[in-house]
Amino acid sequence: MSKLVTIYGGSGFVGRYIARRMAKDGWRVRVAVRRPNEAMHVKPYGVPGQVEPVFCNIRDDASVAAVMQGCDAVVNCVGVLNELGKNTFQALHVDGAERIARIAAEHGVASMVHLSAIGADAESPSAYGRSKAAGEAAVLQHMPNAMILRPSVLFGTEDNFFNRFAGMTRLGPVLPIAHGKTLFQPVFVDDVAKAAVMGVLGDAEGGVYELGGPEVKSLRSLMDEMLAVIHRRRLVLSLPGFVAGLMAFGFDMMQAASFQIIKNGVLTRDQLRGLSRDCVVSEGAKGFADLDLQPVTLGSVLPDYLWKFRPAGQYDAITGSARNLHHDG
């Protein structure tokens, strides 16, 4: 009988890559999500019946326990960048993480991997960072051997970082950013998935791992690299602090005034506070080297999925060469 892993939030950005790798390893995968009908994209990761989306609300003990029945390992990938309704940082990052770890301990589950973030710190200026730290502590209280992964900003086909900024370049000649000097260490989502799989399989010891890619770059230079990939020239404008603060306040108010029908997907005040700190692997932290993994560079992956933001999309190379013919003639 093949082993079974339950991945909470397994249809999300990181979760789907973990699900795919676990299925490839021959495991049965239970993808626990709030809307299983929107998670059907995970089913083809394995043979029929191997990867199954199931309903789960991680704010409820019985719901969490039901999808954990008979499983050998659990992975928690549930997280939000913006609080909406009952899905607050406290409810998901702290209480939800604690609930999964506690029930996993009660069920005698062998291994647990918990996805956190660089910036998880009880002293963080952002509520997001503080909630991530509290969630880690809650997990370790019940599952002291859990593997906790703290990635820097993630990149990959479905990312919410480069795709969002690249989309903004279509709106006009200026690309506004906040805290342009803040440092990041972008990490490929599938490299994080590889680390998570090692935790599930017991090929890596528990504890906290900070995962950053091979390059450390400022937000400003990341935007320059992205613009080079999508062949667009834009003025990257670092907004003064008070202007960024006013913008974030405005977007937050719009979300509140619309009773959260309009979601703030641009910049929240809490995200702005988090941006004041560098998002890089800290000195002496365990990381990819301890897992014998070599993370890939940004430049080797970005063109694979950002081509659609080029002026002529997939035909950009053709139009470019046609332009050269015209010049040569």
Residue 47 pLDDT class (50, 70, 90 cuts): very high
Percent of the chain at pLDDT > 90 equals: 93
Integer Cα distance of 176 and 304 in angstroms: 25
pLDDT tens digits, one per residue of 231-290: 999 999 999 999 999 999 999 999 999 999 999 988 999 999 999 999 999 999 999 999
Contact 171, 149 (CB under 8 A): no
The predicted model gives 59-76 an average pLDDT of 98
pLDDT tens digits, one per residue of 205-241: 999 999 999 999 999 999 999 999 999 999 999 999 9
- What the chain holds in terms of domains, given with CATH numbers, is 4-155+185-214+278-295 (3.40.50.720)
Residue 312 pLDDT class (50, 70, 90 cuts): confident
Strands 51-55 and 28-33: parallel
Closest by CA position to 228, among listed 217, 213, 212: 217
Q: pTM of the predicted model, to two decimals?
A: 0.94
